[in-house]
Structure 1
Amino acid sequence: MNKPRVAIQGIKASFHQEAAVKFFGEDIELVECTSFKQTFEALSRKEADYVVMAIENSIAGSLLPNYSLMMNYNFPVVGEVSLRIQLHLLAYPGVKFEDVKYAISHPIALRQCVDFMEEYPQIKVIESSDTAACAKRVHDEKLMDTVAIANTMAAELYELNALEKRIESNKKNYTRFLIMADKHNGTIADPNKASLCFQAGNEVGSLAKVLNIFAENEINLSKIQSMPVLGKPNEYNFYADVEWQEPKQYDAAIKQALKYTHNFNILGEYRKNDKI
């Protein structure tokens, strides 16, 4: 059997690789991409079998552009995985803390370390595309005045020293990732969670009616996120994650919700997996 080809935003030793390994195991073929859009393009061109994509972080919040990508490409969500995020200040061997003038990392990672960085205003923070790529740059260019903020995997792969460990603002920091697949890989046995997208009417109580339908059918609404509809003022897409015990109750809730919504999409039905 062929290894699953998994597209990630970033390179080896990124958090996306960690998430992919946690979900699929070590025996995967990594498809490295420079952007989230590129991961979906790889799936479209059948250069990958799956996409692993961060969707929310407990400190930095939801990655809103990624919801739009899910809608635009319409690949089914087939799973989820949550990853504890531990960030370290990584330097080229021999570099001391007092030598550091710059810190480079992905903007989401930087937001997770804002409390630590505010204590050292002499260090200029620079946003870049990927945590692991920043670590690789420090290694390849032998940077003596620049540190990368990245994970342990990056420190080991690119032979960097941790000047400071665990600099994330909240030690219970985690990121949730979604797994998308091509249509033929999109059927999951016995799902108990779904990601939905819909629009509710702009009248008083429209959204409340939909939420009440879920409650009355004993469907747990674990997340709801609104985003403006592009080009339509005062109209919003609602992205919701729902969980259920009985499939019949879920089916009934969906049928009832359709009466009070429009542009209703089931983005994916999958097994709940929130172990960190």
Structure 2
Amino acid sequence: MYTKSPGQTPGLFWFYAKPNHKKKKNNKLMKTGTRVAIQGIKASFHEEAAFKFFGKDIQTIECNSFKQTCESLENKESDFVVMAIENSIAGSLLPNYTLIREYNFAVVGEVYLPIQLHLMALPGVKFEDVKFATSHPIAIRQCVDFFYDYPNIQVIEGNDTAACAKRIKEEQLTDTVAIANTLAAELYGLNIIERRIESNKKNFTRFLILKQDKTEEQPDTNKASICFQVGNHVGALAKVLNIFAEQQVNLSKIQSMPVLGKRNDYYFYVDMEWTSMEKYDKAIRQALKYTVNFNIMGEYQKNDKV
């Protein structure tokens, strides 16, 4: 694992400490009554993802925004955060990368969730009665092809898929549908009037599991999420990426984001996987020589089953 050197500026450079390769069960991620902060309410996709990773014997802390989930974790009102980071249709949730970096949380796991989106309304409402559709912006982006064929329906953004379904129930909105999952329809007593409206049926979202403590080692790690910057000159990024290629470390994702207020400066967020911890460690040590603001956001077990 890698930790900050004493007295060093937070998030700048990291030094190597020999990892413990002894296998051990990670009970701390699965203990009864774990408090998990989610963006949204009951029956939201974030709650579904939390249940898939932790099991159902957890306490979900409902938050109105992703920033609020981070504040919950920072204030020790929750033990973990489950945060969506990318969708196979809508792409990366770029603001969430910034939140993870700024709060300096540890990525301790990941979970993939198949996303099936349905139109739901109060019992008795017919599709031809619908004037408005409401959901989370990311869910809406996954259904643009459907609504292209129905320009008469006004699409309105909301805070959460399940919360939009709940609002229809509470306010008895007969001209409005929500875009949400079957759990929301069941919980809030709505009828599904159009099924599977997402643009691509092979639709999934990747969620990261976040924790405050970066010093606690995870067992059996074979994937990492890192962030760094390089100089603005020819070959600077290529040199770093080639280091990982030479050590057979697979880069499964690269995401760039501009540094606020600095022209031509970028943060590079990289997910990587390996089969040899020794080669991964060697690659990290070499990459440190050619990067600045190098931050291992987390080392964890790959979990890409949908």
User: For the superposition of Structure 1 and Structure 2, which TM-score range results when normalised by the shorter chain?
Assistant: over 0.9
- How much does 1:186 deviate? 4.2
Letter in 2 for 1:72: E
> Which position in structure 2 is the counterpart of 1:26?
56
2:134 corresponds to which residue? Answer: 104
Task: Tell me the alpha carbon deviations over residues 60-102 of structure 1, each in whole angstroms, 9 at most, x when there is no partner.
Answer: 0000000000011011000000000000000001101111000
Match of 1:93 in 2: 123
Q: Which runs of 5+ in 1 are unaligned?
A: none
1:51 alignment counterpart: 81
Amino acid across the alignment from 1:151: N
2:180 aligns with one of 135, 140, 150: 150
What is the deviation of 1:182? 2.1
CA distance in 1, matches of 2:214, 2:90: 33
In 2, the alpha carbon distance for the partners of 1:84 and 1:261 equals 36
Q: Which residue of 2 is the match for residue 130 of structure 1? A: 160
CA distance in 1, matches of 2:121, 2:269: 40
- The aligned amino acid for 1:26 is K
Question: Is the contact between residue 77 and residue 186 of structure 1 (CA under 8 Å) also seen in structure 2?
Answer: no
Paired residue type of 2:236? S
Matched ranges for 1:121-270 at <5 A: 121-183=151-213, 186-270=216-300
| Root mean square deviation, CA, Å | 1.0
How far apart, CA to CA, are the structure 1 residues paired with 2:192 and 2:121? 6
Which amino acid in 2 is paired with 1:49? Answer: D
Task: Return the letter of the residue paired with 2:151.
Answer: P
Q: Distance in 1 between matches of 2:160 and 2:105?
A: 24
Q: Kindly tell me the number of residue pairs found equivalent between the two proteins.
A: 276
- Alignment correspondent of 1:80: 110
Q: Deviations over 1:156-215 (max 9, x none)?
A: 100100000000000001000000012178421020000000001111000000110000
| Aligned equivalents of 2:119, 2:290: Cα separation in 1 | 50
**Runs in 1 of length 4+ with deviation above 4 angstroms?**
none
Tell me how far apart the structure 1 counterparts of residues 214 and 206 of structure 2 sit (CA, whole Å).
Answer: 24
Q: Which amino acid is 2:241 matched to?
A: L
TM-score by length of 2: 0.89
Q: Give the corresponding residue for 1:70.
A: 100
In the alignment, residue 203 of structure 1 is paired with which amino acid? H
Q: Structure 2 CA distance, aligned partners of 1:110 and 1:15?
A: 14
How far, CA to CA, are the matches of 1:213 and 1:119 in structure 2?
48
* Bigger shift: residues 1-10 or 130-139: 1-10
TM-score (structure 1 length as normaliser): 0.98
Q: Distance in 2 between matches of 1:254 and 1:231?
A: 28
CA contact (8 A) 1:78 1:186 kept: no
Aligned mates of 2:216, 2:57 — CA distance in 1 = 20
| 2:34 alignment partner in structure 1 | 4
Instruction: Give the aligned partner of residue 116 of structure 1.
Output: 146
What one-letter code is carried by the residue in structure 1 that aligns with 2:86? Answer: E
Task: Determine helix, strand or coil for the equivalent of 1:95.
Answer: coil
Question: Is the contact between residue 89 and residue 162 of structure 1 (CA under 8 Å) also seen in structure 2?
Answer: yes
Distance 1:260 1:132 in 2: 45
**Matched-pair contact (CA < 8 Å) for 1:213–1:253:** yes
Contact 1:7 1:48 in 2 (8 A): yes
Give distance in 1, aligned partners of 2:147 and 2:214: 46
CA distance in 1 between partners of 2:238 and 2:213 (Å):
33
2-structure distance, mates of 1:248, 1:64: 31
Paired letter, 2:121:
A
